[in-house]
Structure 1
């Protein structure tokens, strides 16, 4: 099963599942609101069903969310109402295809560890941003998590219960962003069985 098919099939359940750690989500949402400005044009790669886009779009000039799954995007579009910002849009597209546009910030939330072509995607994000542009990510750190998750995920993948997952450590993620040319200006590591690292990186001026 392709990852696209996996996420299309998972979309209805994904949309109904509650946020696993509301406090951690609220904390990083607040940090993103701190960095995103009213005149910013924002691209969110891997936007899923659009929940975070709906939270952040009122505070910026334009917001485009893309996802490889048409099922996810269909649900995201269904959340749009007349009182939503006019410049909030959703489109189907893989993370390795950056839409045309002048984006001040690019977001990849709970996405990077799901990309087989991670290095190439990060390089494309860097190239798409202007000098001083922001790259904000939240990334799973499987290598730093509970040991039993490592053999469990391949078993789940074998029966179609999990997509591709990259085994990353905190240091590997830092090295990846730095190697692409980004400067990390803030990071928060959220610990647990499956730790995640929230990063705000900037393309140097």
Structure 2
């Protein structure tokens, strides 16, 4: 965790200025997500980075708390929020593990392009489940990299880069493995999609019964 935080703190300024690689897929993900939101809902986003997605989604919720473990990422996000003048959005330096014992409740918990960066995806999904009211929604999108030939060839390089602090931890998953993890933590999956399709960045909407 500490190594990852150091990596993302160093990368924050560059990351904030990087253009979205697939704007069409990103826009469609936002479109599908907004279909499930309304201004009576309280939302929580984990791994929000520099806040661009949170700023897009906050006007569609009653309130959104968006968090990341990178202090530098959150500082940039807070500045963006001040510029956008969104009063229903709160950025905090925090992880799901930090909030697990506080027991707040939300109507929707979201995490985009983040689950594959966790060492223990199942544990974090369990925490997300615990944060939700009954009937609440988990909305995520996760790159599922297992099975890609190019990425398989690069895996040793990624592993070495991770150990020397140049690359963050990355878990290689299939879409089937990811969906099983979500179901195993007590969720009912109600929508899936791949945006983009190759390599699949797997969109999941799941409900807590």
Which bin holds the TM-score, normalised by the shorter protein?
over 0.9
Does the 8 A contact of 1:123 with 1:180 survive in 2?
yes
1:90–1:186: structure 2 CA closer, same or farther, 3 Å change rule?
same
TM (normalized to structure 2)?
0.91
State the Cα deviation string for residues 27-66 of structure 1 (Å, max 9, x = none): 0100011001111111000000000011011111001100
Once the two structures are superposed, the pairs formed by residues 1-205 of structure 1 within 5 Å of their partners are 2-81=3-82, 84-98=85-99, 100-146=103-149, 147-189=152-194, 190-192=196-198, 194-204=199-209
SS in 1 for 2:29: helix
Per the alignment, do residues 83 and 11 of structure 1 end up closer, same or farther by CA in structure 2, a change over 3 Å counting?
closer
**Equivalent-residue separation in structure 1 for 2:97 and 2:187 (angstroms):** 18
1-structure distance, mates of 2:111, 2:178: 13
Q: CA deviation at 1:149?
A: 3.4
The Cα shift of 1:71 comes to 0.5
Number of matched pairs: 203
Which SS does the other structure have where 1:178 is aligned? Answer: helix
Q: Report the aligned-residue RMSD.
A: 1.6
**Bigger fraction of residues in helix:** 2
Structure 2 stretches lacking a partner, 5+ long: none
Deviation at 1:148, TM superposition (A): 2.1
For 1:186 and 1:144, the matched residues in 2 are separated by 23
